[in-house]
Homo-oligomer: A and B are copies of this chain.
Amino acid sequence: MIDINAYLECKRDLVNHSLIQFLPAGGPTVVNSAMRYNLEAGGKRLRPVLTLATAEALGAGEESILNVACAVELIHTYSLIHDDLPVMDDSDLRRGIATCHKVYGEAVAVLTGDAFLTLAFHVIARYGLIDGNAEKAVRIAFELAEAAGTKGMVGGQVLDLLAEGKNLSLEEIENIAFLKTGALLKASVICGAIAAGATKNQLKSFEKYARSIGTAFQIIDDLLDYEGNTADIGKPAGADQTRLKATYPALLGLDEARIKAEKLYNEAVKSLDELDCPTELLAALAGKLVYRER
C-alpha cells in the first residue's frame, strides 16, 4: 500500500530544495528577490512530482531527473505570474499570499515571469550538457516549448481572455482547458518518460494517462472555484464566476462535471494498465488530483 501523501510531501520538499538552488547567485537584485518570493510561496508541485513519479515508474533514479522536474515547475511559475497581471486575470492573491505584481510592481512581475521561462530552458540546457543527455534534452525542450507556446499555454490564455462573457460549447471549453492546463501536465509526464528512456509505445500510454488527468485536473479546479472558499484554495474564490469565465460546471452543472472527472480518472488508470512497469504511484497521484479538496 502506497502512502501517497507521504510520497507527495517528500518529493515536494525535494523539488522545493532544488528549485531554490537554480536561482541565480549574486546580489539580491529586485528580480532575484522576486523570483525567490514566488518560489517560496510554495504550491502543490504536482507537475514536477508527476515528472519524478513517471521516471521512477520506468526505473530511473531521481538525481538528474530533478532538473527536468524543476524546469516544468519553472514554466508553471512563469505562467502564473503573467496570468495574474492586472492586464490579464488581475489577481491579487496566489497561493495564499500577495501576487508578484502586488509586491514588486508590474514591470518587475513581467520581467520575473520572463526570467522563469528563460531559466526553465537554461536548466534543460544544463541537463543536456551532462554526458549522454543531449538528445533527451533536445526532445524535452521541444515538449516544453510546445506546451508553453501558442499551441499550448499562451494560446490557451489568449482564448480564455477572448472567451470572457461568451457562451462556449463543451468542445471549446475542453480545448481551452487542454491548452491552459493539460498541455503542461502532459509535458510533465512525457518529459519524465523521455528522461527515463521510455520506448515509443510506453510514451503513447503515458500520453493517454496524462491527457486524462490533465482534463480531470481542470474540471476539479473549476469545481473547487465554485464550491471553495478563499482560505482553502489560496486564491479569491468565485473569481471565475465573477469574470464570467467558461468553465465545466457552468456548462455541465456541478454533478455532471464531477462524474466526468471521475470517468477521466478511470481512463487514466486504464492507460497505466497498458504499461509493463510499476504504476501504482501514478494511479495514486491521479486519485489525488481528482479527489483533492483544494
Which A residues form the contact surface with B (CB < 8 A)?
24, 26, 29-32, 35, 78, 82, 85, 87-88, 105-108, 110-111, 113-115, 117-119, 121-122, 124-126, 128-129, 133-135, 137-139, 141-142, 144-146, 148-151, 154-155, 157-159, 161-162
Residues A142 and B115 in contact, CB atoms below 8 Å apart = no
Residues of B within 8 A of A121 (CB): 121, 141, 144-145
Partner of A158, one of B31, B106, B158: B31
Residues A32 and B142 in contact, CB atoms below 8 Å apart = no
13 A-B residue pairs with CB within 8 Å:
A29-B158, A29-B159, A31-B155, A82-B110, A82-B111, A87-B110, A107-B161, A114-B154, A118-B148, A121-B145, A124-B141, A128-B142, A129-B138
Nearest CB of chain B from residue A103's CB, rounded to whole Å: 15
Bound CA–CA A108/B82 (angstroms): 11
Residues A142 and B154 in contact, CB atoms below 8 Å apart = no
Residues of B within 8 A of A87 (CB): 105-107, 110
Residues of B within 8 A of A78 (CB): 114
Bound CA–CA A39/B115 (angstroms): 23
Bound CA–CA A82/B118 (angstroms): 14
Most chain B CB neighbours (cut-off 10 Å) among A88, A141, A154, A155: A154
Say whether, besides A31-B158, A138-B138, A142-B129, A150 and B88 are in contact (CB < 8 Å).
Answer: no
Residues A82 and B114 in contact, CB atoms below 8 Å apart = yes
Residues A118 and B32 in contact, CB atoms below 8 Å apart = no
Residues B122 and A31 in contact, CB atoms below 8 Å apart = no
Closest to A137 in B: B138
Nearest CB of chain B from residue A243's CB, rounded to whole Å: 13
Residues B141 and A108 in contact, CB atoms below 8 Å apart = no
Residues A108 and B31 in contact, CB atoms below 8 Å apart = no
Bound CA–CA A121/B120 (angstroms): 10
Closest 5 CB pairs of A and B: A128-B138, A122-B145, A125-B142, A134-B134, A125-B141
Residues A118 and B149 in contact, CB atoms below 8 Å apart = yes
Residues B24 and A151 in contact, CB atoms below 8 Å apart = yes
Residues A126 and B142 in contact, CB atoms below 8 Å apart = yes
Closest to A161 in B: B107
Closest to A89 in B: B107
Residues B117 and A88 in contact, CB atoms below 8 Å apart = no
Residues A115 and B24 in contact, CB atoms below 8 Å apart = no
Most chain B CB neighbours (cut-off 10 Å) among A88, A114, A137, A142: A114
Bound CA–CA A144/B113 (angstroms): 17
